């Protein structure tokens, strides 16, 4: 912290700043109109992801508005001396996938990005959160941000997860318990056996979804797994710098006597594969359950019924067996190698269902390469699936990957808001395993049948 303003926010120094094409152009315009430079260009990293096509990336981008934003990012990065990974660059991909992949994300670092899923980087014990464009401009201009102090929340999940239950299910379960605003104003720390034994990819999925219960950020204390993941990556400190950083990182353990403003403890054994049935990520349940009655839910009944109407669902209905039109595997939530391994493990030796469109979109070129190297692509191809090129894709449908009005999509992304995946689209959030089960049956299916 650079300074504490009396009766005001804290001025926090930012170690790593990630930018993309959608939320940065107006920030650069602001800098220009004020006539100021970027204070620490080497601490900002630019990648193109939100708007990018996921096929034929070698061709010019067809949509003139998207092309214009991509060009603006490139020009601004060039003008201000910022590292830029545009379309086709080997390091290109979704901002929250390429950050950790390239060693930009480090324990104890303060990391911001004009994207709410910046909480992802908390998986490494970084203090990471999403910001608006005015704040992007602040960071470019001063490498600082002004934030009021957040309250602290501990979420503990003890015990062992059942077979077929993934990090995504743990997160959707917690959000369903806390609601979409249950952690607003809090910074969450995840602890307990479930998170300790989770892979780094899984931890990223969990921290990524912190914002979906309103949290400013989410974090898991760094351990040997964290250090093993970051070692020798492109921007990770090397040699003596690594030793020095390690000394610091080893001090980042959770204080045994830490007191939190709020604590929740859950038992891993009760978590099933999850699916959402409504229009916010808090409206989720175990896949074998029935959609709750309006009387049973907290909050406004009118909003609840409006949400079910939009989805074309009714109170008390089962989700299993519902027909699905689209499947999307990807996004900063579930677009990493582990997610494609999970998907491939279910579809191996089976066939894609007829009448279903499946978009498999890796989170980065590195993930794409790994899918090939591990032989997963062969499994996917044999089962009738096609692998696309990296980007945010159908998670927010800014590019052409849009789910048509009224159609149902099982999606491994993070938001099931009205029209999120295209105007009128209906999204069911779930894990890559549930997505895989839907992709081969064409229906909402319990993936445990295939494990």
Partner 1 sequence: MAYDKFNVLKSTAYPLPIENVDTDQIIPARFLKATERKGFGDNLFRDWRYHPDGSLKKDFVLNDPKYSGTILVGGKNFGSGSSREHAAWAVYDFGFRCVISSFFADIFKNNCLNIGVLPVQVSESFLDSIFEEIYKDPTTNLEVDLKEQKVTLLTTGQSENFVINGYKKHNMLNGFDDIDYLQNLKPEILEFSKTRPF
Nearer to partner 1, 403 or 440 (CB): 403
Is 173:284 a contact under the CB 8 Å cutoff?
Answer: yes
Nearer to partner 1, 108 or 159 (CB): 108
Q: Cα(first)–Cα(last) distance of the chain, in Å?
A: 49
Query: Which residues neighbour 303 within 8 Å (Cβ) at sequence distance 6 or greater?
Result: none
Shortest spacing between CB 442 and partner 1, in angstroms = 26
Question: Quick one: DSSP state of residue 292?
Answer: P
Shortest spacing between CB 210 and partner 1, in angstroms = 11
Shortest spacing between CB 175 and partner 1, in angstroms = 12
**Which candidate, 367, 319, 325, places its Cα nearest to that of 343?**
367
Distance separating alpha carbons of residues 125 and 262, to the nearest angstrom: 19
Radius of gyration of the chain (CA): 21
Distance separating alpha carbons of residues 374 and 105, to the nearest angstrom: 25
Nearer to partner 1, 103 or 192 (CB): 103
Tell the burial category of 350 from Cβ atoms under 10 Å away from its Cβ (0-12, 13-18, 19+).
middle
Distance separating alpha carbons of residues 133 and 254, to the nearest angstrom: 32
Nearer to partner 1, 221 or 297 (CB): 297
Nearer to partner 1, 162 or 184 (CB): 184
Is 431:440 a contact under the CB 8 Å cutoff?
Answer: no
Shortest spacing between CB 58 and partner 1, in angstroms = 22
Shortest spacing between CB 142 and partner 1, in angstroms = 4
Nearer to partner 1, 137 or 338 (CB): 137
Nearer to partner 1, 282 or 447 (CB): 282
Sheet holding 44-47, edge to edge: 83-85, 44-47, 16-19, 110-113, 127-130
Is 20:73 a contact under the CB 8 Å cutoff?
Answer: yes
Nearer to partner 1, 123 or 271 (CB): 123
Shortest spacing between CB 98 and partner 1, in angstroms = 18
Nearer to partner 1, 136 or 437 (CB): 136
Nearer to partner 1, 184 or 199 (CB): 184
**Which candidate, 90, 243, 102, 266, places its Cα nearest to that of 170?**
266
Phi-psi region of 280 (alpha: psi -120 to 50; beta: other; left: phi over 0): beta
Shortest spacing between CB 303 and partner 1, in angstroms = 4
Shortest spacing between CB 298 and partner 1, in angstroms = 11
**Which candidate, 230, 232, 182, 436, places its Cα nearest to that of 334?**
436
Distance separating alpha carbons of residues 300 and 308, to the nearest angstrom: 13
Shortest spacing between CB 294 and partner 1, in angstroms = 13
Shortest spacing between CB 61 and partner 1, in angstroms = 11
Query: Which residues neighbour 212 within 8 Å (Cβ) at sequence distance 6 or greater?
Result: 171, 175, 180, 281, 282, 414, 415
């Amino acid at each position: 912290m650079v300074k504490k303003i009396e009766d005001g926010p804290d001025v926090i120094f930012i170690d790593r700043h990630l930018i993309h094409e959608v939320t940065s152009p107006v920030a650069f315009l602001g800098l220009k109109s004020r006539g100021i430079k970027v204070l620490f260009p080497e601490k900002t990293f630019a990648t193109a992801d939100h708007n990018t096509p996921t096929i034929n990336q070698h061709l010019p981008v067809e949509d003139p508005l998207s092309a214009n934003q991509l060009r603006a990012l490139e020009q601004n990065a060039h003008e201000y001396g910022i590292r830029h990974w545009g379309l086709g660059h080997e390091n290109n991909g979704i901002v929250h996938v390429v950050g950790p992949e390239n060693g930009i994300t480090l324990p104890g670092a303060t990391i911001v990005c004009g994207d709410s899923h910046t909480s992802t980087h908390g998986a490494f014990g970084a203090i990471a959160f999403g910001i608006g464009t005015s704040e992007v401009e602040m960071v470019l201009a001063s490498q600082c941000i002004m934030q009021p102090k957040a309250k602290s929340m501990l979420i503990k999940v003890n015990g062992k997860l059942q077979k077929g239950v993934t990090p995504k299910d743990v997160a959707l379960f917690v959000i369903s318990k806390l609601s979409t605003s249950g952690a607003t104003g809090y910074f969450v720390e995840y602890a307990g056996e479930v998170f300790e034994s989770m892979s780094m990819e899984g931890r990223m999925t969990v921290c990524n979804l912190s914002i979906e219960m309103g949290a400013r950020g989410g974090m898991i204390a760094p351990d040997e797994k964290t250090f093993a993941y970051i070692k020798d990556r492109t921007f990770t400190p090397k040699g003596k710098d690594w030793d020095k950083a390690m000394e610091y990182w080893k001090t980042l353990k959770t204080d045994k006597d830490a007191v939190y403003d709020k604590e929740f403890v859950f038992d891993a054994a009760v978590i099933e594969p999850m699916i959402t049935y409504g229009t916010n990520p808090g409206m989720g349940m175990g896949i074998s359950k029935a959609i709750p009655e309006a009387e049973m839910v907290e909050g406004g009944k009118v909003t609840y019924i409006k949400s079910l109407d939009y989805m074309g669902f009714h109170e008390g209905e089962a989700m299993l067996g519902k027909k699905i039109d689209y499947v999307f595997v990807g996004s900063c939530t579930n677009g990493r190698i582990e997610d494609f391994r999970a998907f491939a493990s279910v579809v191996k030796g089976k066939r894609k269902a007829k009448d279903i469109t499946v978009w498999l979109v890796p989170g980065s070129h590195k993930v794409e390469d790994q899918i090939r190297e591990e032989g997963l692509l062969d499994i996917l191809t044999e089962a009738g699936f096609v692998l696309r090129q990296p980007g945010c894709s159908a998670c927010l449908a800014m590019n052409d990957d849009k789910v048509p009005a009224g159609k149902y999509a099982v999606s491994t992304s993070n938001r099931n808001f009205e029209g999120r995946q295209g105007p009128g689209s209906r999204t069911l959030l779930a894990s890559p395993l549930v997505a895989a089960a839907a992709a081969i049956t064409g229906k909402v299916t319990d993936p445990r049948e295939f494990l």
